[in-house]
């Protein structure tokens, strides 16, 4: 789930990165934004699995990690410097006790076990 404008969807669909994701939902299409817990339902409904199986990787800027955890998902903080794009203080980033990755290589290790 990404909070984004409609033009991002077109860019995403042509991105080589898109093929690595099992499902993507966009706020502009779902007509709701994070951290509304209802935003996670389309994602969970897209998988025919237990809610704990999908991995949600996020930067923690919209409290999406906490909300995903409340839905039973596996949230992972992709930690990077957000000071040039978001407010410096993000509650999920500052208080997160779950899994943290700092690179795509770290994320790959988690996914492949």
Distance CA(38)–CA(110), nearest Å, equals: 27
Q: Please confirm whether the linkage preceding 35 is cis (ω < 30° from 0).
A: yes
What per-residue confidence (pLDDT) applies to 111?
Answer: 85
Count CA within 13 A, CB hemisphere, residue 11.
Answer: 6
Q: What average pLDDT does the structure give for the chain?
A: 84
Domains, the chain, in order of start with CATH, read 6-112 (3.40.50.1000)
Mean pLDDT of 9-33: 87
For 69-80, what is each residue's pLDDT tens digit? 998 889 999 987
- Of 84, 86, 29, 25, the C-alpha closest to 59 is 86
Q: Summarize pLDDT for 87-110 with one digit per residue, the tens.
A: 556 778 888 999 999 988 998 998
The dihedral built from the CA positions of residue 96, 99, 55 and 90, taken in this order, carries a sign that is: positive
Whole-number pLDDT of residue 27: 87
């Amino acid at each position: 789930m990404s909070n984004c404008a409609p033009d991002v969807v077109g860019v995403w669909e042509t991105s080589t990165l898109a093929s690595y994701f099992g499902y993507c939902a966009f706020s502009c299409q779902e007509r709701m934004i994070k951290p509304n817990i209802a935003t996670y339902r389309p994602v969970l409904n897209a998988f025919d699995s237990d809610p704990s199986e999908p991995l949600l990787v996020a930067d923690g800027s919209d409290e999406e990690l906490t909300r995903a955890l409340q839905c039973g998902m596996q949230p992972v903080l992709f930690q990077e410097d957000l000071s040039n794009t978001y407010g410096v203080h993000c509650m999920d980033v500052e208080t997160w006790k779950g899994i943290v990755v700092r690179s795509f290589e770290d994320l790959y290790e988690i996914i492949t076990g």
